[in-house]
Structure 1
Amino acid sequence: MQTITSLFVNRSQRDMFNVLAVLLLLQIAAAVALVVPWDFRAPEREPVRLLTAMQDATVRELQIEDMQGNVIHLIREDDGEWRFNDFDGYPASNILSDQLIEDMVELDDARPVTQTAGSHDRLRVGEENFERRLTVTLDTGEDVVAYVGTAPLPRATHVRAADQQAVYISTDLKHREVSTQITRWLDTVYYSEGQNDIREFNLTNPNGTFSFKRGEDDQWMMEGLAEGEVFNPNNLISLVTTVSTISLTRPLGKQELPEYGMLNPQAVATFRVQDDDEDEMVSIVIGANTERANRVVVKSTESEWFVEANRFTVDRLIERTRDEFLVKQPAPAPAAEPVQEEVPAPVEEPETTPTESE
Structure 2
Amino acid sequence: MMKAIIYAAAVLLFLQIGLTVAVHQQQAVNLESTAPDSAFLSFTPKSISSVLINGPENEELVLQKSDKGWIMPGAFSAPVSKGQVDGLLQKLADARQGLAVATSTGAAKRFKTTEDDFERHVTLKQGDTVVGEFYLGTSAGMRNSHVRKADQDAVVSISVSSHEVDVEADSWLDRTLADLSKDDLKAVTLADISLIKKEEGKEKVWLLDGASKEEIEKDEVDSLLNKVTAISVQSVLDPATSAELLKDPAVQFTVTKQDDSKVTYAFAKNDDKKDNKEEDYFILKMSNNELYFKVGKWLVDDLTEAKREKLLVGYEEKKEEIPAVQPVAQEAPLADVPDQETEQAVLPDFLAEEDEEAVPVQDEDLKDEPVQNTEAAVQEQVETEVEAEPAAPEIEAEVLPDAPAETVEQEADVAQDSEQEPLESAAVQEQAKAAEPEQQEVQAAEQNAGQEQIQEDVQPVNDPMDDSGVEESSEQKQEAIPVEEAAE
Residues in 2 aligned to 1:202 and 1:309: alpha-carbon distance in whole angstroms: 20
Match of 2:85 among 91, 97, 101: 97
| Alignment of structure 1 residues 276-295 onto 2, 5 Å | 277-289=258-270, 291=272, 293-295=279-281
Identity %: 20
2:254 and 2:265 in contact (8 A); partners too: yes
Give 1 or 2 for the bigger CA radius of gyration.
2
Per the alignment, residue 342 of structure 1 pairs with none
1:78-93 to structure 2, matched below 5 A, reads: 81-93=69-81
Q: Which runs of 5+ in 1 are unaligned?
A: 1-41, 204-208, 225-229, 335-344
Query: 5 Å matches for 1:8-157?
Result: 51=41, 54=43, 58-77=47-66, 81-93=69-81, 95-105=83-93, 110-142=98-130, 144-157=132-145
Matched, 1:270 2:254: yes
Aligned pair in 2 of structure 1 residues 328, 215: CA closer, same or farther (>3 Å)? farther
Whether 2:220 is the aligned partner of 1:238: answer no
Greater CA deviation, 325-334 or 294-303?
325-334
Q: Aligned to 1:350, which of 354, 357, 368?
A: 357
Contact 1:190–1:245 at 8 Å: present in 2 too?
no
User: Does residue 1:259 correspond to 2:242, yes or no?
Assistant: yes
Is the aligned partner of 1:305 residue 2:286? Answer: no
Instruction: Give the alignment's TM-score, normalised by structure 2.
Output: 0.48
**For residues 143 and 283 of structure 2, what CA distance do their matches in structure 1 show?**
38
Relative contact order higher in (CA < 8 Å, ≥ 6 apart): 1
- Which of 175, 188, 191 is the equivalent residue of 2:178? 191
Checking the alignment, whether the CA contact within 8 Å between 2:242 and 2:292 is kept in structure 1 is no
Q: Could you say what secondary structure the match of 2:106 adopts?
A: helix
Letter of the structure 1 residue corresponding to residue 192 of structure 2: F
Q: Name the CA distance, whole Å, in 2 between partners of 1:290 and 1:147.
A: 41
CA deviation profile, 1:19-70 (whole Å, cap 9, x unmatched): xxxxxxxxxxxxxxxxxxxxxxx97996676656x57994322022322554
5+ long unaligned stretches in structure 2: 1-30, 325-349, 359-464, 470-488
Aligned equivalents of 1:221, 1:104: Cα separation in 2: 52
Q: Where in structure 1 do 4 or more consecutive aligned residues deviate above 4 Å?
A: 42-52, 54-57, 105-110, 196-200, 214-217, 230-237, 319-326, 330-334, 345-349
Give how far 1:284 is off: 0.9
**C-alpha separation in 2, matches of 1:112 and 1:67:** 24
Distance in 2 (CA, whole Å) between partners of 1:152 and 1:105 is: 19
Secondary structure of the residue aligned to 2:224 is helix
Q: 1:199 to 1:328 in 2, by over 3 A?
A: farther
Q: Residue 231 and residue 69 in structure 1: after superposition, are their counterparts in 2 closer, same or farther (change >3 A)?
A: farther
Taking structure 1 as the reference length, what is the TM-score of the superposition? Answer: 0.63
Q: Is the 8 A contact 1:145 1:162 kept in 2?
A: yes
Aligned-partner SS, 2:228: helix
Q: Answer whether contact 1:61 1:73 (CA < 8 A) is retained.
A: yes
Q: Compared with structure 1, are the counterparts of its residues 268 and 117 closer, same or farther at alpha carbon in structure 2 (3 Å cutoff)?
A: same
Task: Please report how far the alpha carbon of residue 93 of structure 1 lies from its aligned counterpart in structure 2 after TM superposition.
Answer: 4.2
Question: Which residue of 198, 218, 234 corresponds with 1:249?
Answer: 234
Residues 34 and 100, structure 2, Cα contact 8 Å, conserved in 1: no
Question: How far apart in 2 are the matches of 1:313 and 1:71?
Answer: 31
User: Is 1:159 aligned with 2:140?
Assistant: no
Distance 2:206 2:351 in 1: 70
Residue matched to 1:317? 303
**SS of corresponding position for 2:121:** strand
1:317–1:346 Cα change, 3 Å: farther
Tell me the distance in 2 between the aligned counterparts of 1:117 and 1:332: 76
The count of aligned residue pairs is: 287
1:61–1:138 CA contact under 8 A, matched in 2: yes
RMSD over aligned Cα atoms = 4.2
Whichever residue aligns with residue 195 of structure 1, its letter is: K
Q: What aligned pairs does 1:162-173 form with structure 2 within 5 A after superposition?
A: 162-171=150-159, 173=160
Residues 202/121 of structure 1: CA separation in 2 closer, same or farther (3 Å cut) = same
